[in-house]
């Protein structure tokens, strides 16, 4: 069983990562922290609470609000993709005023942690030191909180199994010609994390762009036992939860079509981080050296991946200059089986 902490900026695909984090086999979710990103930090926090409740997280799995700005730069939100509040078009989630959401917020506050990184540190101490189990940190947004955690608590890194992040690219971009959104938002934070003396795995857009929610998968999500309909017709949703997820996918599909021209469906970027931790053999990975472009006039936020092993330097992880494992291929049918299985589990609660 892997003990995981999810740092996220929900966000449509972050919401699916929360679902998988709660219901995937082989993982135990310790807590969630939120960061500026797809929308402002207040919204990402509320959205995390709304998802934790709607996806039946145990009551002792709390969410904590983290950084509201990047380390050095102004925050960049992405309403074009996720709507103003980060979960545009998603129906059926409780509102911020819902008594259950109020109760969740109060009970997170009652734990006495004032910041996300303090909450992460406490979970790492509890599980790592007292129970002798390492913690896997997962990042599905800009890496501000993770960079702060590794900087403020270097002594806790020996209890970290791995940092797994969705972000970056090998020779591609999505929010600039060469930069992926999560890294572009806080490049300095990403570089700090890449420098940390701990194992890291990057799930870049080269891989996440293969995990597309096609029409057939959308039909199976709505109703596993119903035959697939001719596009664009969808079957009716079997449960309220499935309706909620279907509205999430439809909105995300629309954004990806209008912004990036994806005609087959949207990619579930962030959910792949949880799949990697739950079933690492679903992925083919290779160790590489990565730096982040911090100063480029046209290239800030690019993950510069040394695929030809040009930079042979001594590094704190691996001692061969390769500071990060990079996912290259995911078994897409296995990934969507896991996704649909988590949905089944969630429906059973």
Q: Please say whether the dihedral angle defined by the alpha carbons of residues 141, 309, 323 and 272, taken in this order, is positive or negative.
A: positive
Number of residues that bind ligand BDR (CB under 6 A): 16
31 or 128: whose CB is closer to Ca ion?
31
What SS3 state is found at 344? helix
The residue range among 7-15, 46-54, 94-102, 309-317 that interacts with ligand BDR, by the rule CB under 6 A, is: 7-15
DSSP 63-102: EEE--SS-SSS-----HHHH-TTSSTT--SPPPTTSHHHH
- 11 forms part of the interface with Ca ion (CB under 5 A): yes
When CB distances are held under 5 to 8 angstroms depending on the partner's kind, the choice from ligand BDR, Ca ion, none that residue 81 binds is ligand BDR
159 or 181: whose CB is closer to ligand BDR?
181
Check if the beta carbon of residue 140 is closer than 8 Å to that of residue 14. yes
Q: How many CB atoms lie within 10 A of CB 334?
A: 14
The residue range among 20-28, 177-185, 302-310, 333-341 that interacts with ligand BDR, by the rule CB under 6 A, is: 177-185
- Give the DSSP H/E element, type plus range, for residue 325: strand 324-330
The residue range among 10-18, 107-115, 186-194, 227-235 that interacts with ligand BDR, by the rule CB under 6 A, is: 10-18
142 or 235: whose CB is closer to ligand BDR?
142
The label of the residue with tokens 């009970």 reads 107
Check if the beta carbon of residue 12 is closer than 8 Å to that of residue 40. no
Measured CA angle at 157 (ends 148, 199), to 5 deg = 100
Length of the chain: 349
- 78 forms part of the interface with Ca ion (CB under 5 A): no
Residues 10, 13: Cα–Cα separation, whole Å: 7
6 or 124: whose CB is closer to ligand BDR?
6
Task: Tell me whether residue 269 is one of the annotated catalytic residues.
Answer: yes
Q: Which of 3, 4, 6, 13 binds ligand BDR (CB under 6 A)?
A: 13
* Residue numbers 212-271 binding Ca ion by CB under 5 A: 270
- 140 forms part of the interface with Ca ion (CB under 5 A): yes
The residue range among 20-28, 138-146, 185-193, 198-206 that interacts with Ca ion, by the rule CB under 5 A, is: 138-146
HSE-CB of 162 using CA atoms within 13 angstroms: 16
Which residues in 21-30 are b (16+ Cβ under 10 Å) and which e?
A: bbbbeebbbb
* Residue numbers 275-294 binding ligand BDR by CB under 6 A: none
Shortest gap between Cβ of 20 and ligand BDR (angstroms)? 14
Shortest gap between Cβ of 158 and ligand BDR (angstroms)? 28
Q: Which of 24, 34, 44, 140 binds ligand BDR (CB under 6 A)?
A: 140
Which residues in 172-195 are b (16+ Cβ under 10 Å) and which e?
A: bbbbbebbbbbbbbbbbbbbbbbb
- 38 forms part of the interface with ligand BDR (CB under 6 A): yes
Residue closest to ligand BDR, measured at CB: 181
Residues 325, 203: Cα–Cα separation, whole Å: 9
Contact footprint for Ca ion (CB under 5 A): 9, 11, 14, 140-141, 270
Contact footprint for ligand BDR (CB under 6 A): 11, 13-14, 38, 78, 81, 140-141, 166, 174, 180-182, 205, 269-270
């Amino acid at each position: 069983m892997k003990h995981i902490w999810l740092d996220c900026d929900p966000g449509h695909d972050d919401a699916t990562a929360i679902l998988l984090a709660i219901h995937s086999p082989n993982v135990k979710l310790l807590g969630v922290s939120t960061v500026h990103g797809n929308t402002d930090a207040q919204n990402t926090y509320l959205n995390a609470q709304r998802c934790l409740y709607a996806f039946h997280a145990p009551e002792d799995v709390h969410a904590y609000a983290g950084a509201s700005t990047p380390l050095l730069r102004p925050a960049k939100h992405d309403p074009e993709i996720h709507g103003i509040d980060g979960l545009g078009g998603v129906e059926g989630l409780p509102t911020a005023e819902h008594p259950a959401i109020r109760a969740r917020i109060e009970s997170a506050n009652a734990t006495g942690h004032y910041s996300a990184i303090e909450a992460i540190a406490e979970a790492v101490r509890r599980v790592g030191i007292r129970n002798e189990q390492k913690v896997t940190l997962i990042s599905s947004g800009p890496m501000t909180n993770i960079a702060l955690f590794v900087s403020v608590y270097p002594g806790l890194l020996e209890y970290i199994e791995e940092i797994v992040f969705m972000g970056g690219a090998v020779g591609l971009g999505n929010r600039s010609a060469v930069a992926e959104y999560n890294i572009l938002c806080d490049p300095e934070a990403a570089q700090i994390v890449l420098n940390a003396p701990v194992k890291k795995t990057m799930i870049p857009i080269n891989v996440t762009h293969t995990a597309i929610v096609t029409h057939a998968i959308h039909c199976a999500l709505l109703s596993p036992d119903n035959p697939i309909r001719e596009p664009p017709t969808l079957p009716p949703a079997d449960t309220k939860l499935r309706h909620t997820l279907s509205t999430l996918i439809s909105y995300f599909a629309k954004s990806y079509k209008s912004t990036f021209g994806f005609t087959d469906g949207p990619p579930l970027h962030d959910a792949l981080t949880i799949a990697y931790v739950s079933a690492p053999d679903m992925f083919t990975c290779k160790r590489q050296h990565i730096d982040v472009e911090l100063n480029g006039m046209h290239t800030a936020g690019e993950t510069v991946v040394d695929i030809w092993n040009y930079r042979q330097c001594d590094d704190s992880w691996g001692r061969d200059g390769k500071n990060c494992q990079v996912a290259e291929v995911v078994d897409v049918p296995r990934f969507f089986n896991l996704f649909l299985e988590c949905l089944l589990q969630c429906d059973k609660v």
